[in-house]
Structure 1
Amino acid sequence: MTTIGEALIELLEAYGVDTVFGIPGVHTIELYRGLARSKIRHITPRHEQGAGFMADGYARASGRPGVAFVITGPGLTNTITAMAQARADSVPMLVISGVNATPTLGKGLGYLHELPDQLGMMAKVALSSKRVTEAAELPGAVSEAFEIFATRRPGPVHIEIPLDVMGRPADGLKPLPKREIAQVVDETAIAEAVHLIREAKRPLILAGGGAKGAEAALFGLAEKLDAPVVTTANGRGLLHGRGLSVPASPSLKAVRCLIANADLVIAAGTEFGPTDYDMYGDGDFVLPKNLIRIDIDGAQLGRRPAAVSILADAVEALERLKAGLGSEGRSAEGAARAKAAREAAWEEIGPTMREQVKAVETIRAALPGSIIVGDSTQPVYAANLYYDHDRPGGWFNAATGYGALGYGPPAAIGAALAVPDAPVVCLSGDGGFQFTLPELGAALDANAPVIFVVWNNRGYREIETSMLDAGIEPVGVSPVPPDVLLVAQAYGLQAERLSDIGALDGALKKARSTAKPCLIEITVE
């Protein structure tokens, strides 16, 4: 007899899942019945929030959904923070949980891990939250999750299975046939956009996280239009080193000036969120009037006005626009405009942030093609303002959008397991690092060769600076960090402390050569 728990594992295998992150408990052991004999590897974090962040990092690095198994109640509520981060950044994540036995639900009888309405709670965070109450419902629930990931703006999806359902018979369950959902691109919108493009003299392109897989199409259109391309934090790595690239934040005055001087802006896969466009909260960013928006999510398009809105995947829309322009090209002095914006933005961020960006550039130079996973720490903030990464999709962090501290270490582990051939660096501050510090053990368990770089300024320095700038005496911003070298060594990791950033290059190369998780601490005055 095959149980529902075993059938779930078989269905996940059929959808190409090769890794799940989770902490087993008495409320999920039936989900583990078929796991040991499957091809799916199980990674055990030290906290369910880590499971969610690992699934997030896995998804961003691989382009495939990350999957987490968590228990009823506290296991799931621990995962909500990671799910909220995934929703903010459009990351495909499947969270599968238990829930108490069906006859007890909603009755407040005090069962272990009981919530008043677990399904209703998750429906507020997840794109979809489904409960499986019988075997026949399982293939549809799994199919719907993967259909969401493939056909619309992705994010977290939740499936829960009651304790009294997991062990029921489920013989003969098969994946549902894949539905072919052809997205019909509005020809009128394409034609209107092409007309606006032909009329423009100084076009500009904004590329966000939704354009991460569209580098060739993006560069093709940019080159044809001779248009500078501004990338948000989640779009970094696109057009690395190209003359038309402006890898700088639209929160900077220099970039805002470039946008304001354009007579047409094409925005691909960006929601115009304030953490990218107004991180200083000055309210000075003005949405361009002559704006063409491209997004896979119709609801997102409806939130910001545009001259033309194109509901489509970024690759298809950009290619259609290029094709609509035919063989015509133009000279809009794009490279010169982009160069001037880059130079002005670099000057604008000031000497302190320039030094922090140079530290990130040291990582890039020492480990070309690396994936750098950031937490909310000073060099990450600085590089989100200005930094040109050399790998599309290889720069991501939680310092924008939902902004969850502690994201970096577990997300880097997920990324390293997803792309084992790429160097993976976690760049974290000592404050955020303490949120998920125990995941060093998970890295060792999983043999994930992450290089953990801890920027140690002994506290929440960014918050302290903000308090001082606001005339507030700093309080609560100096939590004493542990000796992270001793902690790393206690877990069995090779660790090194640097007081000179000039030694970082050699330390990174040495750590990479071990092919094991390592830690480098940089002490900062």
Structure 2
Amino acid sequence: ELIGLLDRLGAVYLDTGENRGLVPDDHPSVVGAMRGAVMGDADVVLTVGRKLDFQLAYGSPAVFKDAKFVRISDSASELRDNRRGAAEILASPAETLRAMVALAGNRESAVDRQWAAKLRAGHQERAAKLKQSMAAAPAGSDGRLHPNRVLSALQDAIGNDAVVITDGGDFLSFARVGLSAPLMLDPGPFGCIGIGVPYGIAASLAFPDRPVVVATGDGAFGFNAIEVDTAVRHKAPVLIVVANNGAWQIEVHDQTVTHGKVVGTKLQFADHAAMARAFGMHAERVETAEQLGPAIKRALANRPALLDMVVTPEAVSSDAKTGLAWVPDLQPLAAWDEAERKWRGT
């Protein structure tokens, strides 16, 4: 129904963490890499079954400026938070979208097609640059792989029908940008890390004929690492990819910059592959770019499987730079806060 509405309108589309993959990346409405421009330019914003949380600047008029909001949800709390809509419809989102298309009949869409095309072109250009930079991401001075190099190889291998679960803090920051699939899960905006392995086991049992991949940081993996035993016992066809940087890296970066001292946030470069093999799982430790492709191919063919990817802690994620560790100064809402200060002239 959502894709039907986008096709009918020619409108542009922004996803958030909860609905990644719902609209395919190759759909002409997808313009996620141009998020800031879309928010600033839009005349009408349609929210479908979601709150206006920090991912959408809480609907701030300093960010969305003169936009009118149309809000659709089957939950009242997703209609009335932070910014009321010019129209608010409490109903099934799917049925509402279907009815909107039907009632529109042959009426011409008012979407500015030139504006939409420009956004799409900008999105594609940025996406192509990201893909190239990820594939060529240099190793750290320690010789260890960059997380983006791992994600690039993984994306190339899993195809267009995968189920992907991303988990962690630092590595999740890389993976939420670097991986794409029709079905994606992560801990959610206020969820707990460590969900990767159990989510992946369940997903692989629900979709045994599709590649199911868990991309997790080593810290998050530790929460439920013992569940590799569950995966083996239940023959769950899941691939677990652990980005092993030997640290709670967001916290390490925060402590280093803020205090000049690191306490309690360094981990071992533990051999997670050896642990997985002890439970009877196919597992390999990957330390070089040359090993990446062949190891991923073997792992996908021998699931359940685990790949222990040794990555450099020198790679600084976006969340480490301006993310959740820096409470409250540089949380994801910092950009919106700055926009409001300028808007109010304070």
Count residues in correspondence. 296
For residue 314 of structure 1, the aligned residue among 93, 115, 118 is: 93
Counterpart residue number, 2:202: 414
* Pairing partner for 1:228 from 1, 9, 12: 12
Encode CA deviations 1:251-291: one digit per residue, 9 max, x unaligned.
Answer: xxx412221101111111222322x3469xxx975587411
- Find 1:375's aligned residue among 153, 162, 167: 167
Of 310, 315, 322, which aligns to 1:523? 310
Q: Mark the CA change 1:267 to 1:354 in structure 2 (over 3 Å): closer, same or farther.
A: farther
Q: Deviations over 1:229-269 (max 9, x none)?
A: 11112211123212221245xxxxx4122211011111112
Alpha-carbon distance, 1:306 to partner? 1.7
- TM-score for both structures, normalised by structure 2: 0.76
The residue number in structure 2 matching 1:260 is 40
Matched, 1:303 2:77: no
Match of 2:324 in 1: none
CA distance in 2, matches of 1:494, 1:311: 49
Give the superposition deviation at 1:492: 1.2
Q: How big is each residue's C-alpha offset from its partner over 1:169-199, in whole Å with a ceiling of 9 and x where there is no partner?
A: xxxxxxxxxxxxxxxxxxxxxxxxxxxxxxx
Runs of 5+ consecutive residues of structure 1 not aligned to the other structure: 1-216, 249-253
Q: Secondary structure at the match of 2:113?
A: coil
Structure number with greater Rg is 1
Say whether the 8 Å CA contact 2:271–2:285 is kept in structure 1: no
1:464 aligns with 2:252: yes
Of 383, 388, 402, the residue aligned with 2:190 is 402
Counterpart in the other structure of 2:31: 246
TM-score, normalised with respect to structure 1:
0.51
Q: Is the 8 A contact 1:225 1:332 kept in 2?
A: no
Cα gap change, 1:497/1:396 in structure 2, threshold over 3 Å: closer, same or farther?
same
Partner of 2:168, secondary structure, is: coil
What secondary structure sits across from 2:268 in the alignment? coil
Deviation, 1:313, is: 2.4
Residue 522 of structure 1 aligns to a residue whose secondary structure is: strand
CA distance in 2, matches of 1:458, 1:388: 22
Query: Paired residue for 1:362?
Result: 153
CA drift at 1:446: 0.8
Compare the two structures and name the one with the higher helix fraction. Answer: 2
With a CA cutoff of 8 Å and minimum separation of 6, indicate the structure with the bigger relative contact order: 2
What is aligned with 1:433? Answer: 221
C-alpha deviation, 1:506, in angstroms: 2.6
Structure 2: how far apart are the matches of 1:300 and 1:354? 41
CA contact (8 A) 2:50 2:73 kept: yes
Distance 1:441 1:388 in 2: 26
Describe the shift of the 1:329–1:288 C-alpha distance in structure 2 as closer, same or farther (beyond 3 A): same
1:335 and 1:503 map into 2 onto residues whose CA distance is 40
Q: Deviations over 1:389-433 (max 9, x none)?
A: 241xx11111x3223121101111111111111111111111111
C-alpha contact 1:443 1:450 (8 A) present in aligned 2 = yes
Give the RMSD, CA atoms, in angstroms: 3.1
Residue identity over aligned pairs, in percent, reads 25
2:3 is aligned, of 208, 212, 219, to: 219
Residues 408 and 426, structure 1, Cα contact 8 Å, conserved in 2: yes
**Secondary structure at 2:190 match in 1:** coil
